[in-house]
Structure 1
Amino acid sequence: MSFGNVSAVLVHGAWADGSSWGKVIDRLKEQGINAIAAPLPLTSLRDDVAALDRVLERIEGPVVLAGHAYAGAVIGSTRAGNIAALVYVAALAPDEGETVSDVFYRGETHPQSPQLAPDRHGWIWLPQEAFAQAFAQDATPQEVAVLAAVQRPISVSCISEAVGRPLWKERPSWFLVAEQDRMINPANQHDMARRMNARVRSYQTDHTPVVTAADAVTHVIVEAVESVSAR
């Protein structure tokens, strides 16, 4: 199938960088879809949205915008005119007036979910052992080692800024629910997807399916791209 000039822009979450999308990028390119990973500074929600907007400015044609985890708040906060659809991957989707922290801590936490607190500089790091225990328990030891080695901390400002009217109220959206997620309660994911009126795709995967279930993530993104292409 021809996807025309539809591009996929992929946005990483906290404690990660664009390389976390590597497997998905390979699979999308194999199907003829232009895929770009947008780098976020993780310094504040406002800064992250601005960084995403700079990437989107460089792309001609419609965009399917996919965000993992924290990046759900970022993709919902942009106002770029070329976004045709949104894909949430085990992501957070705050509504107007809510913060990332509000939705992240909603519901029961998993027993192996890490205790998180900012350091004296206002940065939140993921404890080393949490990568194998909660962030990506389905990953190989080699994948866990790389994820831990390249982790980027997130500023408290990212999770404490209230969002405006989210873009998912105006664009079609898909939501990949990670049923074995130990970071964001799967029931919470279902609740967010429901109020978004998103197309829900449920998989038995951990919090980081962009690494551990790349085929599933790719399938959902391709579904969104096909929908945009068919218009």
Structure 2
Amino acid sequence: MSTERMSVVLVHGAWADGSSWRKIITALNRNGTPVIAAPIPLTSLNDDVDAVDRAVARVGGPVVLVGHAYAGAVLGASRHEQVRALVYVAALAPDEHETVADVFYRDAPHPNAPNLAPDADGYLWLPDEAFPRAFAQHADAEDQVLLAATQRPIAVACIQEPVPAPRWKTLPTWYLRAEEDRMINAETQSFMADRMGARLRSHRTDHTPSITAPEAVLEVIAEAYAEVSAEPPAIDGEPAGTSGRR
């Protein structure tokens, strides 16, 4: 357990940016927990890992690293010594020598999942209709419009690079499964969490829990934070671990 003040570093996935964590950032900040969102370029796995490690270094102390979707692969490949715990939020967790595509396509896609094809520059975009149909079907219309308008494409190279031995093999790890995810099959999420030996928490939410079920995300972060920090954060005025688990 660290005696230094722990920070939370949030990493967005594909077709999103740091604003997708806004509800988590404001809640943690309101309760005095240091938090930043790490911007990643989504140009290659190595580029994204470098960006996360720079963000962790900027914090200057121990970190709980939290990632959504594609960012799970980035968390696993991060090598910064300040990382104390990992939290996967409906995230992909390839094992050594696997690619993101290997786990993303492991199980049959949801009928509403979009067909993905790269553009002329090798980037994958989501069609606007994918946000209400599959990416964030539980979100309100305003959030769906914002997600579509601010999406950032992911390079095909990101999902084709084999990953190194992942950090979840050596660090305390939590996994929040999105039971109604139409982008990453919930069975795939269960498989990955079990293989990781992660502490699995589950919630009836879509692919964007940080937007549609922020309280579930905050509870998992608080649980991880409390285990590796001498000063657990509060959520809505309550110490970590006092609210019910899902």
Q: Same fold (TM over 0.5)?
A: yes
Is the Cα–Cα contact under 8 Å of residues 4 and 62 in structure 2 kept in the other structure? no
Query: Does 2:194 align with 1:188?
Result: no
| 1:22 aligned onto 2:22 | yes
Instruction: Write the distance in 2 (CA, Å) between the matches of 1:106 and 1:126.
Output: 20
Alignment of 1:78-227 (within 5 A): 78-227=78-227
Amino acid at match of 1:185: N
What letter matches 1:190 in structure 2?
Answer: S
CA shift at 1:4, angstroms?
A: 5.5
8 Å CA contact 1:77, 1:165 repeated in 2: yes
| Letter aligned with residue 199 of structure 2 | R
Residue 32 of structure 1, CA deviation:
1.9
* Aligned ranges 1:34-73 → 2 under 5 Å: 34-73=34-73
SS, match of residue 58 in structure 1: helix
Which residue identity does 2:220 align to in structure 1? V
Partner SS state of residue 14, structure 1: coil
Work out whether residues 5 and 62 of structure 1, in 8 Å CA contact, stay in contact via their aligned partners in 2. Answer: yes
Residue aligned with 2:77, SS = coil
Structure 2 distance, partners of 1:218, 1:93, is 20
For 2:125 and 2:177, how far apart are their aligned partners in 1? Answer: 24
User: Could you give the per-residue CA deviations for residues 2-50 of structure 1, whole angstroms, max 9, x where no partner exists?
Assistant: x951000000000000000000011111222111000000000010001
Counterpart CA distance in 2 for 1:170 and 1:134 is 33
Contact 1:13–1:68 under 8 Å retained in 2: yes
| Structure 1 runs (4+) greater than 3 angstroms displaced | none
Please, what is the CA RMSD of the aligned residues? 1.1
1:46 maps to a residue whose letter is: N
Using the alignment, how far apart are the partners of 1:7 and 1:41 within structure 2?
22
Counterpart CA distance in 2 for 1:87 and 1:151 is 23
TM-score, with length taken from structure 1: 0.97
Aligned length: 229
Identity of aligned residues (%): 60
What is the alpha-carbon distance in structure 2 between the residues aligned to residue 30 and residue 228 of structure 1? 21
After TM superposition, the score normalised by the length of structure 2 is 0.91
Question: Equivalent residue of 1:76, what SS?
Answer: helix
